[in-house]
Amino acid sequence: MKAHTASRINAIILIVIGAWGYVESGSLTSNIPVFIGLVLLLLNKGIRNQNKLIAHIAVIVTLLSFANIMPLKGALEDGRNDAVLRVIIMLTSSVYAMIYFIKSFIEARKK
């Protein structure tokens, strides 16, 4: 899988799961992953075209999605299993996207 594909999948997951969280909780902070996903979708063409600057910006935006660790902690403490599942899905997709970004950076460096 290419980095742009992994990033696009991550963006879609963030948007869908973030929207699900908003519908379930009504909390405006649930829209943060949606916003991050939208930004990643906007950056996807540049990633696909191997624009280094845009790829690095996308990595930083993807790193922002790891802020989901705080809601995970709260959901675990409150026993909200559905919220735990949503956050784990978003964190997992972000980890995979980061792995593919790192692989693509290593590959580009070798060239």
Q: List the domain range (segments joined by +) for residue 28.
A: 3-106
Ordered mean pLDDT values, 10 residues apiece, the chain (111 residues): 90 94 85 93 91 91 84 80 88 92 85 75
Domain count, the chain: 1
Q: Please report whether residue 111 resides in a domain.
A: no
Q: Please report whether residue 57 resides in a domain.
A: yes
Tell me the pTM: 0.86
Q: Please report whether residue 68 resides in a domain.
A: yes
Check residue 39 and give its pLDDT: 96
- How far CA 41 is from CA of 35, 45, 59, 94, 95, in Å, comes to 10, 8, 13, 14, 17
Task: Summarize the chain as % helix, strand, coil (round to 5).
Answer: 90, 0, 10
Check residue 15 and give its pLDDT: 95
Q: Please report whether residue 14 resides in a domain.
A: yes
Check residue 3 and give its pLDDT: 85
Check residue 29 and give its pLDDT: 83
Q: Please report whether residue 58 resides in a domain.
A: yes
Check residue 110 and give its pLDDT: 82
